[in-house]
Amino acid sequence: MTQNVAVFGLGSMGFGSAMSLVRAGHQTYGFDVNADAVSRFTDAGGKAASVGDIAADLDAAVVVVLNAAQTEEVLFGANGVVDGLKAGAVVMACATVPPDFARDMEARCAERGVHYLDAPISGGSVKAGQGQLSVMASGTPQAFAAAKQVLDATSETVFELGDTAGAGSAMKAVNQLLAGVHIATMAEALTFGMTQGVSPDKFVEVISKCAGTSWMLENRAPHIVAGDYTPHSSVDIWPKDLGIVLDIAKSARFSAPITAAALQQFLAASGSGLGREDDAAVAKVYARNAGLTLPRED
């Protein structure tokens, strides 16, 4: 059985998820503020329409935008989709947002008879394109049931973390703490190695097989070796995501000094004009400060 699905946000993760839905046979509509992204999607087999024309026929709205403000705009803004959805439709919200925000969105959707699944995603653009994301999800049993076909098409692993929104976003914050710290630490270790005569390619060859490795190291360090900073996930993602982590930590009166240090490196990278480059470009901050030349940066 196929469904009518709209994907809001056709960036690296949203585009991959939307294409996974297309391949699964679902009638999939794509929306993005970037017209080129929509054209790319329709050229690849997706559909475009106005929200008002299709909202009433949708079974699911998948929101893969940048942050809480964009999520709220998609759902309840001037052209928000929720007011047009039929009772029993589901919103699957995938952005990294504070848990309290997710709970608020769930309550506002419920007032309109719409299910809300707090469903942050992880896995990067490659996994998104393969329909193999990990989803950290929480919501009512009815929300999980309504989102099942979308989850089946877009994800490899679905962690069911609770029967109300908020738990999924809390787990995503934990993941983003680690992911952001790991990228910054990878950049620090790689450039530290360069001061000791360890080339970036040798760093990847050796450390990826040793206890100091991480998924982020193995995924991002090759970008530095290649000198290719085409964004799969940009530097500017991290001031937002690590900022959310620190806001949550502050409200919990929890000290997170390592997160704060990593955030400063991403802020320095963004302030240096690197915000739209791949997040591995945080290594350029370390290289600049140490007088080092990264591959292909001559």
The closest of 98, 53, 48, 50 to 72, measured between CA atoms, is 98
Contact 95, 120 (CB under 8 A): yes
DSSP summary character for residue 131? T
Element (DSSP H or E) covering residue 181: helix 167-195
The closest of 95, 69, 82 to 11, measured between CA atoms, is 95
Burial of residue 24, with CB atoms counted within 10 A of its CB: 0-12 exposed, 13-18 middle, 19 or more buried: middle
**Which residues belong to the active site?**
172
The amino acid sitting at 279 is D
CA atoms in the 13 A half-sphere facing the CB of 215: 8
Bridge partners (DSSP) of residue 160 are 137
Q: Which two tokens stand for residue 276?
A: 């739209």
Bridge partners (DSSP) of residue 28 are 5
Contact 295, 200 (CB under 8 A): yes
Task: Report the C-alpha gap between 69 and 256 in whole angstroms.
Answer: 25
3-state helix, strand, coil split of the chain in percent (to 5) is 55, 15, 30
Q: For residue 205, count other CB atoms closer than 10 A to its CB.
A: 11
DSSP assignment of 47-59, as one string?
B---HHHHGGG-S
